C-alpha cells in the first residue's frame, strides 16, 4: 500500500515518469553488484530464507531461477521528481474532470458491490471510489500495460542490492513468493510499481497476505481482475490500520480568519464558537465530532480534519495525497469545488479543454502521446517545452487554463 512506499514512487509509476539518468543507472548497477555476492549466488543462498517461509523448491525454482534483476529500480528509487507541483496543481491533476466523469460511471457499474462493502466495513463508498481512481485510474488496463513492470525482478534486485532497506525488501520478496505458493497469482500476472505495489488499489505483498480478502469468493485473494477483493480489502485496511470510523465525514473546508493550523483536536461546535465556520455557510452535521485545523498554504483554503482524514492518510503519508482523495470523494458525491481559491491557482480544466490543449500542442509540434484529456508524463513534457518556447513562466509542465489560452492565440 502507499503508506509503505513514498509518494514519488506512486507518481512515477502511474504517470510513467520514469526519468532515469543513464549515468545514475550505471552507478547504481555497479553499487548493487559490488555490495554483495553475484546475483545468481545470492539467489541460491536466499533459498533457505524462502524454505523457512514455507516456499517449496518447485515454486522457488519456477520464480527465481530464470530471474534477471531489474537494476533500473536503483535509479528509480533515487530519482528526483521531474515536475514540482504547487498544492493546487497537485489537486487539479488528481481531482480531474476525467476522474469525476469516469468515477460516476463506476458508481453505476459497481453500485451493489460498493453498497455491500459500505455495509460490511462502514467505509464511505466515495472514499473507496476516489482511492481506486487515484491509485490506478479505476483499474485502467492501459496503466497496467504501459506503466507497470514485473514485480519479482524489481523486488529481487532491491533485496539483493539495496543496502539501506534490504531487510524490508527481503521480507516483501518473501511475501510475494508466498502469494505464488498459495496459488493466488503467478509471476506473469504480478505486475506493479518498481517497489512492488500491485492492482486496483496498489497492494504491497505484505498487505496482500495480511489484509487481503477473497470478497468475490472465487477461491483466491487478488488485487487484479474483478475489483471486489481490492476494494473490500482496502476498506478493511482503512478500518484495521487507519481506525476509520463508520458514519463520520473526513472533514470540511472552513473559513478560519486569523487562525493557523493546530494540532489540538476540538469538537466542531467548539471550533465554531472560536469563529471557524464552514466555507459554504452551512452547519456542521455532527457538532460533537472532533477535528483539527489545517491550512495547506498561507492565504488559501483551510480545513477541519476529522479522524477519517487521518485514516485515509494511513494509506499514503502525504497530506496533499489525502486531501486529493477526500476532495475527489466529495466531488463524486455531487459536492462542488472548494469555495476559496489557492493563491495563484487556476480552476480545474474540463475534459474537452484538456483534449483541445493536447490537440493544439500536437499541431504545434509538441507530441502529447495522444489526445484523451488525461495528463500523463508525455503531455507534461510537451507543455513544459511549449512554455519554454513561448516564454511562459514558470515552465512547470502544468496543463492548465493559462497554457490553453496561450495556445489559442497561435504561434
Domain boundaries, the chain: 18-80+149-192, 86-147+195-247+311-345, 251-305, 351-408
Average pLDDT score over residue span 90-111: 96
Number of neighbours of residue 300 by Cβ within 10 angstroms = 17
Least confident stretch, 66-80, 134-148, 151-165, 251-265 = 66-80
pLDDT at 256: 92
> What percentage of the chain reaches a pLDDT higher than 90?
83
Q: Is the pLDDT of residue 4 over 80?
A: no
pLDDT at 144: 84
- What is the rounded average pLDDT for all residues in the chain? 90
Q: Is the pLDDT of residue 122 over 90?
A: yes
Q: Is the pLDDT of residue 215 over 60?
A: yes
Q: Is the pLDDT of residue 306 over 60?
A: yes
Q: Is the pLDDT of residue 81 over 60?
A: no
- Domain range 18-80+149-192, its CATH number among 1.10.3470, 3.40.50, 1.10.8, 3.30.530: 1.10.8
Average pLDDT score over residue span 236-260: 94
Residue 128 to residue 86: CA distance in whole angstroms: 25
Q: What is the CA radius of gyration of the chain?
A: 23
Q: Are 3 and 317 a contacting pair, CB within 8 Å? A: yes
Least Cα distance to 7 among 313, 296, 384 occurs for 313
Residue 26 to residue 29: CA distance in whole angstroms: 5
State the number of CA atoms in the 13 A half-sphere of 191 facing the CB. Answer: 17
Cell 468475490 appears where? Answer: 216
Instruction: Categorize the per-residue pLDDT at 15 as very low, low, confident or very high, splitting at 50, 70 and 90.
Output: very low
Instruction: Categorize the per-residue pLDDT at 181 as very low, low, confident or very high, splitting at 50, 70 and 90.
Output: very high
Q: What is the 3-state secondary structure (H, E, C) of the chain?
A: CHHHCCHHHHHHHHHCCCCCCHHHHHHHHHHHHHHCCCHHHHHHHHHHHHHHCCCCHHHHHHHHCCCCCCCHHHHHHHCCCCCCCCHHHHHHHHCCHHHHHHHHHHHHHHHHHHHHHHHHHCCCHHHHHHHHHHHHCCCCHHHHHHHCEEHHHHHHHHHHHCCCCHHHHHHHHHHHHHHHHCCCCCCCCCEECCCCCECCCCECHHHHHHCCCCCCCCCCCCCCCCCHHHHHHHHHHHHHCCCCCCCCCCEEEEECCCCCCCCCCEEHHHHHHCCCEECCCCCCCCCCCEEEEECCCCCCCEEEECHHHHHHHCCCCCHHHHHHHHHHHHHHHCCCCCCCCCCCCCCCCCHHHHHHHHHHHHHCCCCCCCCCCCCCHHHHHHHHHHHHHHCCCCCCCCCCHHHHHHHHCCC
pLDDT at 143: 86
Pairing mode of beta strands 277-278, 251-255: antiparallel
Q: Is the pLDDT of residue 2 over 60?
A: no
pLDDT at 12: 37
The answer to whether domain 86-147+195-247+311-345 has CATH 3.20.20 is no
Least Cα distance to 399 among 362, 353, 342 occurs for 353
Residue 154 to residue 77: CA distance in whole angstroms: 11
Alpha carbon separation from 307 to 248, 263, 326 (Å, rounded): 8, 12, 12
Least confident stretch, 40-54, 80-94, 217-231, 273-287 = 80-94
Q: Note the pLDDT tens digit of each residue in 18-60.
A: 333 333 444 444 444 445 689 999 999 999 999 999 999 999 9
Least confident stretch, 67-81, 90-104, 276-290, 378-392 = 67-81
Residue 175 to residue 235: CA distance in whole angstroms: 21
Average pLDDT score over residue span 328-357: 96
pLDDT at 17: 34
Q: Is the pLDDT of residue 72 over 70?
A: yes
pLDDT at 266: 96
Instruction: Categorize the per-residue pLDDT at 351 as very low, low, confident or very high, splitting at 50, 70 and 90.
Output: very high
pLDDT at 328: 98
> What percentage of the chain reaches a pLDDT higher than 70?
90
All cell numbers assigned to 103:
468515477
Average pLDDT score over residue span 317-324: 96
Q: Is the pLDDT of residue 257 over 90?
A: no
Amino acid at each position: 500500500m502507499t503508506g509503505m512506499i513514498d509518494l514519488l514512487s506512486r507518481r512515477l509509476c502511474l504517470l510513467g515518469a520514469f526519468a532515469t539518468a543513464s549515468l545514475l543507472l550505471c552507478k547504481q548497477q555497479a553499487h548493487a553488484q559490488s555490495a554483495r555476492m553475484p546475483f545468481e549466488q545470492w539467489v541460491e543462498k536466499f533459498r533457505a530464507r524462502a524454505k523457512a517461509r514455507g516456499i517449496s523448491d518447485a515454486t522457488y525454482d519456477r520464480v527465481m531461477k530464470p530471474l534477471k534483476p531489474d537494476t533500473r529500480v536503483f535509479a528509480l528509487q533515487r530519482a528526483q521528481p521531474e515536475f514540482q507541483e504547487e498544492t493546487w496543481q497537485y489537486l487539479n491533476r488528481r481531482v480531474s474532470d476525467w476522474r469525476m466523469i469516469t468515477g460516476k460511471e463506476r458508481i453505476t457499474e459497481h453500485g451493489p458491490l460498493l453498497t455491500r462493502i459500505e455495509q460490511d466495513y462502514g467505509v464511505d463508498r466515495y472514499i473507496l471510489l476516489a482511492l481506486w481512481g487515484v491509485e490506478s485510474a479505476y483499474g485502467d488496463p492501459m496503466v497496467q500495460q504501459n506503466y507497470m513492470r514485473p514485480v519479482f525482478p524489481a523486488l529481487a534486485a532491491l533485496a539483493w542490492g539495496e543496502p539501506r532497506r534490504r531487510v524490508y525488501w527481503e521480507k516483501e520478496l518473501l511475501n510475494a513468493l508466498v502469494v505464488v505458493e498459495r496459488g493466488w497469482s503467478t509471476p506473469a500476472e504480478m505486475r506493479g510499481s518498481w517497489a512492488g505495489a500491485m492492482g486496483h488499489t496498489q497492494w504491497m505483498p505484505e498487505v496482500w497476505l495480511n489484509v487481503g480478502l477473497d470478497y468475490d469468493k472465487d477461491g483466491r485473494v487478488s488485487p487484479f481482475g474483478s475489483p471486489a477483493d481490492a476494494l473490500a480489502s482496502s476498506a478493511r485496511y482503512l478500518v484495521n490500520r487507519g481506525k476509520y470510523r463508520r458514519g463520520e465525514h473526513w472533514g470540511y473546508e472552513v473559513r478560519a480568519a486569523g487562525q493557523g493550523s493546530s494540532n489540538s483536536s476540538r469538537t466542531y461546535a467548539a471550533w465554531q464558537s472560536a469563529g471557524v465556520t464552514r466555507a459554504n455557510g452551512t452547519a456542521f452535521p455532527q457538532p460533537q465530532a472532533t477535528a483539527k485545523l489545517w491550512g495547506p498554504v498561507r492565504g488559501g483554503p483551510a480545513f477541519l480534519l476529522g479522524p477519517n482524514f487521518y485514516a485515509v492518510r494511513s494509506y499514503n503519508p502525504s497530506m496533499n495525497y489525502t486531501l486529493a482523495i477526500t476532495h475527489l470523494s466529495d466531488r463524486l458525491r455531487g459536492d462542488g469545488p472548494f469555495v476559496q481559491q489557492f493563491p495563484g491557482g487556476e480552476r480545474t480544466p474540463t475534459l474537452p479543454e484538456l483534449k483541445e490543449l493536447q490537440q493544439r500542442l500536437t499541431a504545434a509540434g509538441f507530441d502529447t502521446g495522444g489526445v484523451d484529456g488525461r495528463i500523463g508524463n508525455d503531455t507534461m513534457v510537451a507543455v513544459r517545452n511549449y512554455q519554454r518556447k513561448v516564454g511562459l513562466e514558470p515552465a512547470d509542465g502544468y496543463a492548465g487554463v493559462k497554457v490553453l489560452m496561450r495556445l489559442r492565440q497561435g504561434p
